[in-house]
Amino acid sequence: MTSKILNRRPGTSLVELLLFLGFFAICSGVLIGVLVSSGEQRTRQQTVASVEQEGVQLLQMLTRRIRRAESIAYPDAGVTSSALVLQLADEGQDPTVIALESGAIKAAEGNSVRTISSDQLTISDLQFQNTSVSSDSQSVTISFMITKIIPLPTAGTYSRLFESLVVLFPDHQLTGNGCGCSAPSCLDNDLNWNVCEGETCEGSETTLPCG
C-alpha cells in the first residue's frame, strides 16, 4: 500500500485577509485625517503670521509719517476721529491726510491720494486719538483692526487689533502751511482741507471719510 505525503504550505485565510484590509483602511483613514488636519493648521498659522507681520509693518509706516510731521492739524487735542491730518514742512506733502476708505487705509499728500495698506487685508475701526498735552508736546494714539480670510472652505477669517502711541518730535519753528490755510473740517462725514498753491489756499480736489 502506497502512502502519499502531501506538503501543506502555510497560506492566508479569507478571514485574515479581511482583517488585514479592515486594519489597513482604519490606519489609512487616521493618517489622511492627520495630514488634512496638519495642512489646515499650517494654513491657519500662515494667515495669523501674515496678519501679524503686515499689521506691524503698517504701524511702522504710519509712525514714520507721523513723526515727520510738525504738528497735528486734525483732530483737536482730546478728540478721537477716523481721520488724521498732519502739517508738514515739505509743501508737496502738506497737509498729509490719513483715513479709512472702503476697507483700506488711504494717505493724501496735497491733492494726491494713494492706498498704503495691502489689498489682501480688510481694515476696519481705524481711530486716531489726539493725546497731545500742549502744542510743544504732541502725540496721537493709533488703533485699527485687520481682518484676513483664511483660505480654507469653512475656516472663516482671522482678525487682530493693532494700536500704538506715537509721539511727535518737538518742533518750535513751524514752516508748514505757509499760506495760513484754515484748519481741516469734517462735514457730513467728509473731511475737507486746503492745499497751499503758490501763495493762496485752494480747496483740495479730493475728500476722505471722517467721523
C-alpha cell of 16? 485574515
Phi first, then psi: what are they for 93, rounded to 5°? -115, 5
Closest to 57 in 3D by CA, of 5, 124, 116, 131? 116
Q: Please name every residue paired with 105 in a beta bridge, in sequence order, or none if there are none.
A: 100
The C-alpha R_g of the chain, in whole angstroms, comes to: 31
Q: What angle do CA 205, 109, 75 make, to 5 degrees?
A: 90
Closest to 182 in 3D by CA, of 83, 85, 78, 46? 85
Per-position pLDDT tens, the chain of length 211: 445 544 555 556 666 666 666 666 676 666 665 555 566 788 888 888 889 999 999 999 999 999 989 999 999 999 999 999 999 888 888 899 999 998 999 999 877 889 998 888 899 999 999 999 988 889 999 999 999 888 877 768 889 999 999 999 876 677 778 888 888 888 888 898 888 887 788 888 788 988 7
pTM over 0.85: no
145 and 160 Cβ atoms separated by less than 8 Å:
yes
Closest to 186 in 3D by CA, of 87, 81, 102? 81
93 and 109 Cβ atoms separated by less than 8 Å:
yes
Q: Please name every residue paired with 128 in a beta bridge, in sequence order, or none if there are none.
A: 81, 142
* Residue type (1 letter), 106: K
